[in-house]
Amino acid sequence: MHRTRSLVTGLLPLIPGAAPERLAVWLVKGYVQNSSARAPLAALNIRQYSAAPPPPSQAAAEPFLNGSSSVYVEEMYNSWLQDPKSVHASWDSFFRNASAGAAPGQAYQAPPSLAVPGRHEIPITALVPQMSMSGVSTGLPIDEKMIDDHLAVQAIIRSYQIRGHFGAFLDPIQIEGPKDLNERLKRETHLGKFLPEAEEKDMDRIFKLPATTYIGKPDERALPLREILSRLEAAYCRHIGVEFMFINSLEQCNWIRKRFETPGAMSLDAEGKRLLLARVTRAAGFEAFLARKWTSEKRFGLEGCEMLIPAMKTIIDKSSELGVESIIMGMPHRGRLNVLANVCRKPLEQIFAQFAGLEAADDGSGDVKYHLGTYIERLNRVTNKNIRLAVVANPSHLEAVDTIVQGKTRAEQFYKGDSEGKKTMSILLHGDAAFSGQGIVYETFTLSDLPDYTTRGTIHIVANNQIGFTTDPRHSRSSPYCTDVARVVNAPIFHVNADDPEAVMHVCKVAAEWRATFHKDVVVDLVSYRRGGHNEIDEPMFTQPLMYSKIRKMKSVMEKYSAKLIEEGTVTKEEVDDVRNKYEKICEEAYVKAQKETQIRYKDWLDSPWSGFFEGKNPLKMGNTGVIEETLKHIGKRFSSTPPNAAEFVVHKGIERILRARMEMVETRTVDWALGEAMAFGSLLKEGIHVRLSGQDVERGTFSHRHHVLHHQTSDKSTYKPLCNLYPDQAPYTVCNSSLSEFGVLGFELGYSMTNPNALVCWEAQFGDFFNTAQCIIDQFIASGQSKWVRQSGIVLLLPHGMEGMGPEHSSARPERFLHACSEDPETFPAETEEFAIRQLHDTNMIVANCSTPANYFHILRRQIAMPFRKPLIIFTPKSLLRHPEAKSSFDDMVETTGFKRVIPEAGIAASQPEAVRKVIFCSGKIYYELKKAREDRGLDSAVAITRIEQICPFPFDLIRDEINKYPNAELKWAQEEHKNMGVWSFVQPRFHTAMQGSSERRLSYVGRGVSASPATGSKRQHLKEAAQLLEDAFAGFPKEFSEKKQYEEEEEEE
Ligand SMILES: Cc1ncc(C[n+]2csc(CCOP(=O)(O)OP(=O)(O)O)c2C)c(N)n1
Ligand SMILES: [Mg+2]
């Protein structure tokens, strides 16, 4: 509360009296001061905003024309000047009287009320006797004063609702401010502060309660001011601070008001209190046990925020009661082991065994214990319903797991047909510093209400220990609260003092109900402290001496709450001891069991089990990727058509042309890139595989080549998706333009891909190089996820790539970055067996490819599903090749007998006379077409072979070796358009060496651009120069007769 408190203090000098005081007092004082000043309207300096003539001076002297009402009155007056009937009859009468010269104070006449009094409404006259009984003498007509007073009280109520949280007692350690904030606040609200002449009596005056509050019991329509203030303080200024009045839905605001203002809303029965105490005891007992057994082992203990555990359990109980069956959670290091033990009920011996440093029984490199995930299905004892809980494994990178959890949740909802999110939900846990500091949190929130990304409400819990490692909030954020980022999506934020267990329970229940009712995000901010250092080895006094001298004197929440319950007679001391001892015994027993363990199993910590997927499969046997011609034809035709039965669907002329061209290709048994992709997707859909393509502008495609969503040109929001209409029983196809985020959306799609192995989930970058804003997802999850967490994913990254003169960005998708993260050994030629290719795929961490033909693209997409396991696939996709006349494939390369080609060897004249070949140029991707043309131009077709490597990792050692051996007399070149320190060169170079099995006679050398700091030049001219030079260099070294021969042949042809 450091930062919040200083913000409030910062505001106080602006407030009359300067001393910190209750909002109500400040407001009422404002009224008193204004009314005593009685500034005439002309003096309020507001007319400069009005084009209307000034109101008559007599009217300006009316006593109620003060403060906030004056603007309103002036608006009324201006309207009345235009048309007297446009204002209420009472205003009409007032302005007529004032214009006619009525004396100040005499122009206003109260109109008779015609309305039937509703809830909170009582006839104003009914209050008059009480008002006069209070004996307050104002010297003004009683009804006018009363209106002002009522307006002031309404404003007080509203100000509590809006700003009451600033006065709430949220910080258990009271880093700043007077020791007893409650006492101070009481003193500040004393009657004398705003009505010095009749203090106590004014507090007893009765005020009608407006419809915007629920502080009245059912039969209470008016209350003494004292009671109003007291109830507002109970609702908004005790241990809960509610931020919600920024929400732009009246219904939602009222819903929240009701839950916090209704008298008795926060009370908990004895059974609830006992359960709560038991849960706090377990949370505290777990940390104490670990601290005792492993004194200096890092575990990122929860001490100081033990209430996180009962908070999560309450949310789970309530959500289960409201119909949720599966909860997917993401969380950082703090308290993670405790969550696994006490929320998920992961067997304690498995957790304790992690401390023993045992070897793993399964493959992989593993992860530290406070990053591991889990998946558990169990009975919720409170609701007696089954519940599935998953904690997603995460790296150290704080908050990076957020969108992965969201994607996984969304996928589970999708596959279960839970379109409203009633059965599956997510909970995200955060640290205070990370929540406000990490941009991915914002990216996660912005996905929360997008049709293809929403999870229908996430409950966020911040374990707000008011510190991030060694940094104070005042140095780690510029916002008053660490939770302010949630305001962007209108999520209510419940700050709660985590040393008040019952208050925590209340906000958690409300949060769960909110999610179930509105299906929107909500934040619970557990304001707490960190009893120790950042981890168990750190000394916090180095940097936070004051904070820690206070913390060291603090009793734990368990001690405080058990003392409270003993004192109020809810439990006995024996019961408290009993609960504690029982849990300790459970821990001891598990500890003994853990000691007998000899190995740990990473599989025990898997967050996304794919039951039934691996069972019964030969892990080295892959299905076919070719399909029958009939399927290609059918998909092609559908993909080239407008809605079959919608003659009125108006298609853009340009799209009509594209569709016609597609149809012509289908008729000639050819595909371009877009058609090849559609056939891959369509054929998988036919086989029951859900396909999801997500990313920026993917529906049309950045390069306007895809057009998976056709837009009716004369009817808004009327669209047609050909791939959703291929077969009556096909799987669903999802294509969705995403928010402009890479980190968030790639994380989301990765999470999506973890849920169902029988889905093809693709994320496309707008241009390939933009992936680097999502680098953390690639390094921490995609490249290493299986190794760390035995978790597989078949996600596909489509990264437009190619040096086409577009400048430093938009050119290279930086293949080197991905290749560097590949786990393949460059110096090992894998054993040559029949399963060479599939074993390589099985053993790699990622597949990296640059396909040069639509057919190969088609096959590699389909291979993702044909594989008996899942691996991430990174494809560098083309830009200019999308429309290149030669970059087309025949159906012949896609039918049943065909498959993906890891290498496309030279197939021209050179291949038929390999001994005569002088040079073999190996390359990958679009440069092939440029090299091919340059070779032809130079008449070198028989002298130079050009071979394409389509799958870069796993490296096709066997095929490359064969290709090299085929051309015994040729020099070997690697040509690439990326700079020498980029692209594929440094990856392939040692692998070629290995493929040549150490042959010292043959050497691969590089041809292409030199090294550079920037991926591409910004000058088109320079680009063309470099591109031309590259081709010159590639074909350098041939004697002149080669080109003369070519010239001779051409002349002969012309004749
Ligand atoms: C992206 C990232 N940057 C930096 C770190 C290093 N780091 C680990 S914990 C931590 C402090 C986190 O503070 P907070 O979010 O408040 O959580 P707490 O440790 O207080 O529970 C930091 C900076 C990290 N893990 N991840
Ligand atoms: Mg913190």
DSSP 405: H
Q: Half-sphere exposure (CA, 13 Å, Cβ side) for 794? A: 25
Q: Which two tokens stand for residue 93?
A: 């009468």
pLDDT score recorded for residue 22: 37
The three-state secondary structure class of 980 is coil
301: its two tokens? 């203990």
Cis peptide before 954 (omega within 30 of 0): yes
* Nearest CA owner, ligand 1 atom 15: 431
CB–CB of 705/882 below 8 Å? yes
Out of 469, 527, 775, mutate this one to test ligand 1's pocket (max ligand atoms within 8 Å of CB): namely: 469
Q: Using the structure block, give the residue that is written with the tokens 């039937």.
A: 116
Protein residues whose CB sits closer than 6 Å to any atom of ligand 1: 334, 396-398, 431-434, 463, 465, 467-469, 530, 534
Report, in this order, helix, strand and coil percent for the chain, each rounded to 5. Answer: 45, 10, 40
Length of the chain in terms of residues written: 1055
Nearest-CA residue for ligand 1 atom 26 is 397
Closest CA to ligand 1's atom 12: 468
Residues 942, 886: contact at Cβ < 8 Å? no
Q: How far is the CA of 495 from the centre of ligand 2 (A)?
A: 15
- pTM attached to this predicted model: 0.87
Ligand 1 nearest atom to the CA of residue 534, by list position: 19
- Distance separating alpha carbons of residues 764 and 771, to the nearest angstrom: 9
Structure tokens at 269: 């029965």
Distance 276 CA to ligand 1 centre (A): 29
Cα 524 to ligand 2 centroid, rounded to whole Å: 14
924, 948 in Cβ contact below 8 A? yes
Q: What is the pLDDT of residue 183?
A: 55
| Residue position matching structure tokens 């997603």 | 392
Task: Write the single-letter amino acid at 751.
Answer: G
* Residues in Cβ contact with 91 at an 8 Å cutoff, skipping those fewer than 6 apart: 76, 80
Q: Across-strand partners of 903?
A: 949
Measured from the CA of 437, which atom of ligand 1 is nearest?
15
Residue nearest to atom 10 of ligand 1 (CA): 469
Residue nearest to atom 2 of ligand 1 (CA): 397
User: Ligand 1 centre and the CA of 396: distance in Å?
Assistant: 8
Distance CA 194, CA 25 (A): 6
Is the separation of the CB atoms in 319 and 516 below 8 Å? yes
From the alpha carbon of 305, which atom of ligand 1 is closest? 21
The predicted pLDDT at position 371 comes to 80
Residue minimizing CA distance to atom 22 of ligand 1: 469
Ligand 1, atom 1: closest residue by C-alpha: 397
How far apart (Å, rounded) are the C-alpha atoms in residues 359 and 155? 66
Query: For a substitution probing ligand 1, which of 398, 464, 776 has the most ligand atoms within 8 Å of its CB?
Result: 398
Q: What is the DSSP letter of 541?
A: G
Q: Calculate how far, in angstroms, residue 305's C-alpha sits from the geometric centre of ligand 2.
A: 10
440 CA distance to ligand 1 centroid (A)? 14
Going from the Cα of 46 to the center of ligand 1, the distance in angstroms, rounded, reads 50
**Which ligand 1 atom is nearest residue 438's CA?**
1
Name all contacts of 182-189 with Cβ < 8 Å and 24+ positions apart.
Answer: 184/20, 185/22, 185/233, 185/237, 188/19, 188/20, 188/21, 188/22, 188/25, 189/21, 189/22, 189/24, 189/25, 189/229, 189/233
Report the nearest atom of ligand 1 relative to the CA of 334. Answer: 21
H helix runs in 327-378, sequence order: 336-338, 348-353
What's phi and psi for 684, nearest 5 deg? -70, -40
Token pair 């060169």 is found at 985
Q: CB count, 10 Å around CB of 993?
A: 16
Per-block mean pLDDT, blocks of 10 residues, the chain (1055 long) = 43 33 34 32 27 34 40 62 71 63 52 41 44 42 72 86 89 72 48 45 86 94 92 94 96 98 95 97 96 87 96 98 98 95 94 83 75 89 94 95 98 97 98 98 98 98 96 94 97 98 98 98 97 89 92 96 97 97 96 89 83 90 96 98 91 96 98 98 98 98 96 94 97 98 98 97 97 97 93 97 94 97 97 96 97 98 97 96 95 98 97 97 98 96 97 98 97 98 98 89 94 95 96 89 57 50
Q: Would you give the DSSP letter of residue 779?
A: I
Task: Give the number of the atom of ligand 1 that is nearest the alpha carbon of residue 434.
Answer: 15
Give distance in angstroms: CA of 997 to centre of ligand 1: 48
**Strands 951-953 vs 847-849: parallel, antiparallel or unpaired:** antiparallel
Q: Which listed ligand is nearest to 308 at the C-alpha? A: 1
Ligand 1 mean position to 398 CA, how many Å?
Answer: 6
Which atom of ligand 1 lies closest to the CA of 465?
A: 20
Instruction: Identify the three-state secondary structure at position 694.
Output: strand
Instruction: Give residue 978's pLDDT.
Output: 98
Residue 153, H or E segment: helix 142-167
Name the residue type at position 564.
Answer: K
Q: Which atom of ligand 1 lies closest to the CA of 399?
A: 1
pLDDT the model gives residue 267: 94
Distance 466 CA to ligand 2 centre (A): 5
Cβ 376 vs Cβ 388: under 8 Å: yes
pLDDT value of position 35: 34
Question: Which ligand sits nearest to residue 776's alpha carbon?
Answer: 1
* Nearest atom within ligand 1 for CA of residue 335: 21
Tokens of 1045: 């021969």
Report the separation in Å between the CA atom of 306 and the middle of ligand 2, taken as the mean of its atom positions: 14
Q: 544 alpha carbon to ligand 2 midpoint, in Å? A: 13
